[in-house]
């Protein structure tokens, strides 16, 4: 289980138009949050191939966070719906693989919701500290 020394590594895929902008906003508003989630900027949450999520876990991530625009607000109209459908199906596969629910997360965060970025990353980091490292793919 988690030790005091364990710091989870979360890979965050944020869409350019909403969530990435929100994380910038969190920065300029000086909303401090856990440093455990380096961000990969994608143009749309619909760009996130499930392989990215699995590869991140395989390569050392303990969790993966995907952030996109609220349904109906996607800059490309449909992209986040695709992301939602893929994510829901991926979650079922991950459950069959025994990957804990907290490790892979999809959040709708609009450009103005810097505080939500702060909240989600803090929450997820705390959960993964308790869960411990992801060890499966490396066994």
Chain contacts with other proteins (rule: CB under 8 A): 49-51, 53-55, 57-58, 71, 81-82, 84-86, 88-90, 92-93, 96-99, 136-137, 139
- Nearer to other proteins among residue 76 and residue 81 (C-beta): 81
Determine contact, residues 105/65, Cβ cutoff 8 Å.
yes
CA distance 85 to 94: 14
Nearest approach in angstroms of CB 34 to other proteins is: 25
What's the DSSP call for residue 45?
Answer: G
| Residue nearer to other proteins on the CB measure, 6 or 81 | 81
Residue 31 beta carbon to other proteins: minimum distance, rounded to whole angstroms: 28
DSSP 8-state symbol, 121: H
Comparing CB distances to other proteins, the nearer of 32 and 138 is 138
Shortest Cβ distance from residue 35 to other proteins (Å)? 26
b vs e for 14-34, b when ≥16 Cβ sit within 10 Å of the residue's Cβ?
bbbbbbbbbbebbeeeebebb
Do 73 and 24 contact (CB within 8 A), yes or no?
no
Q: How far is the CB of 71 from other proteins (least distance, A)?
A: 7
How many of the other CB atoms lie within 10 Å of CB of 7?
14
Q: Which is nearer to other proteins, 25 or 64 (CB)?
A: 64
CB nearer to other proteins: pick between 53 and 117? 53
Considering the complex, what minimum distance in angstroms separates the CB of residue 86 from other proteins?
4
- 134: tokens are 């992801």
């Amino acid at each position: 289980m988690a030790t005091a020394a364990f710091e989870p590594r979360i890979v965050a895929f944020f869409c350019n138009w909403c969530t990435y902008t929100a994380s910038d906003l969190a920065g300029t508003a000086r909303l401090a949050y856990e440093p455990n989630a380096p961000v990969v900027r994608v143009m749309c949450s619909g760009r996130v191939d499930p392989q990215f999520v699995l590869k991140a876990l395989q390569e050392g991530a303990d969790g993966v966070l995907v952030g996109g625009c609220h349904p109906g607000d996607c800059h490309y109209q449909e992209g986040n719906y695709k992301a939602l459908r893929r994510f829901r199906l991926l979650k079922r596969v991950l459950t069959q693989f025994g990957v804990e629910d907290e490790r892979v997360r999809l959040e709708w965060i609009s450009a103005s919701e810097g505080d939500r970025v702060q909240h989600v990353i803090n929450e997820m980091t705390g959960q993964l500290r308790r869960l411990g490292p992801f060890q499966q793919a490396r066994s």
